[in-house]
Chains A and B, each alone.
Chain A
Amino acid sequence: MEKKINSLCLEVLNRLNEAGVLKDLIVIGSWSIYFYKDYFKSENYSTYIRTKDIDFLVPLPLKFQKEVNLFELVKDLGFLEKYRGSKGYIELEHPDLSIEFLVPERGRGEDKPYSIPQLSINAQPLRFLDFLVENTISINTKGLDIRLPHPAAYALHKFIIFKRRSKAEKRDRDIEGALRVFNELIRHKKHSEIRYIFKRMHNKWQRKILDNLKSIEEPEIVKILTE
């Protein structure tokens, strides 16, 4: 089952790459945890993920050179184009994989989708995503170059947003994934990279992370960040 989902995900990435748009997208969310295997290259690192949603972050301003209809690109794989709720965010759905698109929310924020006509999609604006855009890495898997948030940025971002989750299950999943990635960074002695990314964050966000970590009793991580 997991193997099938992974191959479907790779097929989608492959098509995005061939269409020339993958380089302008960042894979965020739990699938990043899976792809960090090619960053850590460690046998002990667990790639297990509990979601079938793959989230693509679209950095702003948009840089797409040509127009590509993303739904048409994956339609023959069995994906359906759905509009989520009354807000109109586009989601490409398949029993094994759901593709969603996000953009960084700026200013006061509006509860409206962000239209990306170059890709024929509407993306969902969300807070704190600019931070991920500013801290990315590129990994190569099966011949594909995939942009991901730096693992430290991924973990720190989750340490901010888990408190905003209304569902306990999603909150627990955020915390578990962030701790797994963070602990792997520590195992690889990436303390200075973690601190460098943390110190570049807005003071208010740093405080929020430290408070959130204290609330889940992670004094060791607080210590690493504040050393």
Chain B
Amino acid sequence: MGAIKDLLREELDNSIRLRKDYKEELRKRPGGSIVAKKIKGHKYYYLAFRDGKKVRFIYKGKKISKDDIGKLKESRRLRAKYKKLIQKLDKRIKYLKKALHGKED
């Protein structure tokens, strides 16, 4: 039983660490979308994203390059992937905690 518990404990520790790492990656990568605001006949581009209850805008410039759009798209794809994996890890962590703290026969 000890060996199995050690294995579960190791997996739990790894899962908790990995979930923290994904959350850190999410913080580093911008989400949101590029929006154009028309002010006095000129177009200005902003990165719009949700920050808690607020929607924030970060000014990106009068022009936006294809490269920037590509980077943002990649970032959004990765964010979606990481969020999915965090959900998976949440379930795993819950299951492992239950298994570890359950009664022994």
Q: Which residues of B contact A78 (CB under 8 A)?
A: 81-82, 84-85
Interface residue stretch chosen among B14-22, B34-42, B48-56: B14-22
A78 to B22, CA, bound (A): 9
Q: Which residues of A contact B78 (CB under 8 A)?
A: 75-76
Knowing A95-B18, A168-B3, say if A76 contacts B88 (CB, 8 Å). Answer: no
Our pick among A77, A80, A172 for the contact of B21 (Cβ within 8 Å) is: A80
Knowing A75-B78, A78-B85, say if A95 contacts B15 (CB, 8 Å). Answer: yes
Interface SS, A side? mixed
How many chain B residues touch the partner (CB < 8 A)?
A: 18
| B58 in contact (CB, < 8 A) | no
Q: Which residues of B contact A50 (CB under 8 A)?
A: 7
List CB contacts (< 8 Å) of A54-82 with chain B: 75-78, 80, 82
| B77 in contact (CB, < 8 A) | yes
How many chain A residues touch the partner (CB < 8 A)?
A: 14
A32 to B22, CA, bound (A): 29
A94 to B86, CA, bound (A): 11
| B6 in contact (CB, < 8 A) | yes
Q: Which residues of A contact B81 (CB under 8 A)?
A: 76-78
CB distance from A222 to the nearest CB of B (A): 26
A95 to B93, CA, bound (A): 11
Complex A-B: 28 CB contacts under 8 Å:
A50-B7, A75-B78, A76-B74, A76-B78, A76-B81, A77-B81, A78-B81, A78-B82, A78-B84, A78-B85, A80-B18, A80-B21, A80-B22, A82-B21, A93-B18, A93-B21, A94-B85, A95-B15, A95-B18, A95-B85, A95-B88, A95-B89, A95-B92, A167-B6, A168-B3, A169-B3, A169-B6, A169-B7
**Residues of chain B whose beta carbon lies under 8 Å from any beta carbon of chain A:** 3, 6-7, 15, 18, 21-22, 25, 74, 77-78, 81-82, 84-85, 88-89, 92
